[in-house]
Homo-oligomer: A and B are copies of this chain.
Amino acid sequence: MGKTRVADYIADFISGQGVKDVFMMSGGGSIFLDDGLACNKDLNAVCVRNEAAAPMMAKAVAMLTKNIGVVYVTSGPGGANAVSGLSDAWVDSVPVMVISGQVPRAYTSYNVKDRRIRNFGIQEMNIIDLVKSITKYAEVVNDPETIRYHLEKAVHLARSGRPGPVWLDIPLDVQAAVIDTSSLEGYEKDEGAYCNTPVQIEEIIALLKKAKAPLLIGGQGIKIAGAVEEFKELVELLDVPVIFSRMGQDILPFSHKNNFGHGGMKGQRFTRMITRESDLVISIGSRLSVPFLGENLDAFSKDAKIVMVDIDEAELNKPTIKIDIQCQADAKMFIRELIRRLKAEKLPDTGGWLKECRELKEKYPLILPEMKKDPIDLYYFCSRLDAASGGSNIFVSDAGSSYYVMGQALRFEKGQREITSGAFASMGLAIPLAIGCSFADKDAQVLAVTGDGSFELNIQELKTMSYYKCNVKLFVINNGGYVSIRNTQDRVCEGRYIGSDQGSCDDVLNFKKVADAFDLPYSLMDKSGSIDEDLKKIMSKSGPILIEVVCDNKQKIIEPIKPKEAA
C-alpha cells in the first residue's frame, strides 16, 4: 500500500471485490478514472457504444456472479445516458455501482452557492440530484481521503437489504489526487440481514394447521438471499404447490411435482385457478406486484389469508394488497427459522389440493400440437429453444411478446438461468443483457430473444457483441414490429394504430444487412419444421450470431384462464 492515486485506489478496490469486468465509455471527465482501469492488470475494461447500455450489462454480471456490477462513465451527458439502464437495475434490485467522472471540484455545481445552476464546469452537471431517486446511495467524493469510506459504504448498501444501484461521482482533481492508503478510514457496516419474526412464524404455523389449500409464492428475493436450497427444502417439507413470479421462475424445474410455474397476468393458463382457490398464500421474496396480482388485483380469494415475507417495508405496505401477516425479513433467515419450527409440528394432509393442482397442470398444457405451423408461432419457437438448451445456457428475453412468451415457455429443467428486465420489461435490454451474461460466465452460451421493435433501441451494442466475440445467439423475432402494442390498440383504440405499424413507423430493418454492418454472422429461421435442426446447428458453434426468426405477425399472448371461464 502506501501512496497511490485515487483512480488507482478505486480500481484496486473494485478488483479486490472480485469484480473482473468494468463496463465503460471513455471521456474527458473520467480521464484519470479510465487510466486507473488501464493501469490495473486484474480488471478488464469493456467499452460500450452508449453509456445507456453499460448498467444493463453490469446488471447481468451482478445477477449471475452475485457480486456488484461496475460501470465507469464520464461527466454530464455520460452520466445522464446511464440513467436509462440504471433505472432498470433499481426496480429489479440489482447492485450496480456507477463511478462517474466529474469536473474539478471548484467547477462542480455542488460547490456553487446557488445549486440551481444548470451546468457549471466543462460538460458538467449535478448528476447526484439526477440519480438520487433511483439509487440507494449517491455521493460526490469531495475529499480524496474519504474514498475508502465511500466505496465501502456504497458496496455495502448496494448489496445489503434490498439490493440496488449506487453512484459515486469523482471530480477530476480527486481522481488524480495522491493519497496515503494506510491512513484511510473505512465504513462500519450496520448489522445487515435480519429476521425478527418469532411471533409471525407462530401465527403462520397456526394458519398452516388450519389451511386446506396452502400455496407458496416464490420470487427473486429467494435468489438474492442465497436461499434457493432452503426454499426447495421448505417446498418439499410442506409439500404444497408453489408458483413463481417472473424473476423467481428459474428456482425450480417446471417438472418438479410441486411447481406450477410462472404466475401473474401472463402466467401459465392454469395458475390463476390455483391462486384463486388457495386459502393460505405464503409469499417469500416476491413483491406481489400488480402484474402478478392482475389488473383487478383479484389473483387471490378475498377469504384467503396472505402472508408476505419481504425485506422492503415499502412493498409490505402497498395499498394493492391486504397482508394478514407481514414479515420484514431476509428470505434465507426466515425460511431457516420456519423450517426449524415446522419440524416440531404435524401439519394436516393437503395432498388432495396438490393433486387437484396437478390435474389442472396436465389439463392445460402451454404448447399445443397446432402451434407447429408456418409462419412460426412464437410459443412453439420458444419451447423448442428451451428443449434444445442445457445447463450452460442463459436465457435473455426482451420486452413485449418475447417477454411474455419466454416467461411462459421456459421450463428450466436443466439448471438454465434467466436474465431479463423483470419489473419494467423494458424494450431493448436483450442485447446489452446478453453481452453482460457472456462476460459474467465465459463458459456459458447465451440464448437471447428480442423483438424487431425492441431490437432497435440498443442496436449500437451489436458492435460490442461482435468486437468482443460474445458467445451470444441473438434471435430476433420478425413479426412486423410492435405486435404487443398493436394488440392493445386493437383492444382499446378501436384498432387505430400509431407508432406500431408500417403506416406510421415500423418498416422493419433488413436484419441480414444489419448483421453484416455490425460484423455478425446471420442465419434465417422461417420454417417450423426445421427449427430443431436449425437450433442444433446454431448452438453447436461458439461466438455471436444474429438469427432472424420470421414469426406470425398476428401472434396472440396466452392469458391465464379465469376460474369462472373454466367452470
Contact B50 A456 (CB under 8 A): yes
List B contacts of A314 (CB < 8 A).
112, 114, 116-118
Chain A window 20-32, contacts with chain B (Cβ cutoff 8 Å), 1 for yes, 0 for no: 0000111110011
Q: Is A193 an interface residue (CB 8 A)?
A: no
Q: Is A493 an interface residue (CB 8 A)?
A: yes
Contact B26 A467 (CB under 8 A): no
Contact A496 B38 (CB under 8 A): yes
Instruction: For residue A260, give the distance in angstroms from its CB to the closest CB of chain B.
Output: 22
Q: Is A39 an interface residue (CB 8 A)?
A: yes
Assembled-state Cα–Cα distance A356/B488 (Å)? 69
Assembled-state Cα–Cα distance A464/B509 (Å)? 11
Q: Is A268 an interface residue (CB 8 A)?
A: no
Instruction: For residue A222, give the distance in angstroms from its CB to the closest CB of chain B.
Output: 18
Given A47-B506, A84-B80, A313-B114: A499 and B34 interface contact (C-beta under 8 Å): yes
Interface stretch, picked from A205-213, A317-325, A551-559, is A317-325
Interface stretch, picked from A180-188, A240-248, A361-369, A424-432, is A424-432
**Closest chain B residue, CB of each to CB of A425:** B123
Q: Which A residues between 35 and 88 are near B, CB-CB below 8 angstroms?
A: 35, 37-39, 45, 47, 49-50, 52, 76-77, 80-81, 83-84, 87-88
Contact B116 A25 (CB under 8 A): no
Q: Is A505 an interface residue (CB 8 A)?
A: yes
Q: Which of B31, B493, B500 is the one whose CB lies under 8 Å from A488?
A: B31
**Closest chain B residue, CB of each to CB of A48:** B505
List B contacts of A1 (CB < 8 A).
none
List B contacts of A509 (CB < 8 A).
463, 517-518
Contact A426 B513 (CB under 8 A): no
Contact A317 B113 (CB under 8 A): yes
Q: Which of B76, B317, B460 is the one whose CB lies under 8 Å from A460?
A: B460
Q: Is A545 an interface residue (CB 8 A)?
A: no
Q: Which of B31, B125, B496 is the one whose CB lies under 8 Å from A91?
A: B125
Instruction: For residue A478, give the distance in angstroms from its CB to the closest CB of chain B.
Output: 15
Contact B505 A510 (CB under 8 A): no
List B contacts of A516 (CB < 8 A).
513, 516-517
Q: Which A residues between 102 and 138 are near B, CB-CB below 8 angstroms?
A: 103, 106-107, 111-114, 116-126, 129-130, 132-134
Q: Which of B31, B318, B427 is the one whose CB lies under 8 Å from A117?
A: B318
Q: Which of B45, B134, B426, B463 is the one whose CB lies under 8 Å from A456?
A: B463
Assembled-state Cα–Cα distance A460/B431 (Å)? 13
Taken together, the copies of this chain in the complex come to 2
Chain A window 478-515, contacts with chain B (Cβ cutoff 8 Å), 1 for yes, 0 for no: 00001011001100110011111000111101100110
Q: Is A459 an interface residue (CB 8 A)?
A: yes
Q: Is A300 an interface residue (CB 8 A)?
A: no
Q: Is A218 an interface residue (CB 8 A)?
A: no
Contact A428 B318 (CB under 8 A): no
Contact B289 A498 (CB under 8 A): no
Q: Which A residues between 191 and 226 are near B, CB-CB below 8 angstroms?
A: none
Contact A120 B492 (CB under 8 A): no
Q: Is A90 an interface residue (CB 8 A)?
A: yes
**Closest chain B residue, CB of each to CB of A427:** B77
Q: Is A413 an interface residue (CB 8 A)?
A: no
Q: Is A315 an interface residue (CB 8 A)?
A: yes
Assembled-state Cα–Cα distance A76/B289 (Å)? 15
Q: Which of B39, B47, B119 is the one whose CB lies under 8 Å from A505?
A: B47
Assembled-state Cα–Cα distance A25/B492 (Å)? 18
Assembled-state Cα–Cα distance A511/B34 (Å)? 28
Contact B425 A120 (CB under 8 A): no
Contact B77 A499 (CB under 8 A): no
**Closest chain B residue, CB of each to CB of A485:** B26
Assembled-state Cα–Cα distance A493/B121 (Å)? 21
* Given A123-B424, A463-B509, 16 extra CB contacts under 8 A: A26-B500, A34-B499, A47-B499, A77-B87, A81-B84, A107-B290, A107-B320, A112-B314, A112-B319, A117-B318, A118-B164, A118-B312, A122-B291, A124-B290, A125-B134, A130-B134
A selection of 28 A-B contacts at a CB cut-off of 8 Å is A24-B499, A28-B484, A31-B489, A32-B492, A35-B489, A35-B493, A45-B499, A50-B457, A76-B91, A77-B84, A77-B426, A77-B427, A80-B83, A80-B84, A87-B130, A91-B118, A91-B119, A103-B290, A114-B313, A117-B312, A117-B314, A119-B424, A123-B424, A130-B133, A130-B134, A460-B460, A513-B513, A517-B517
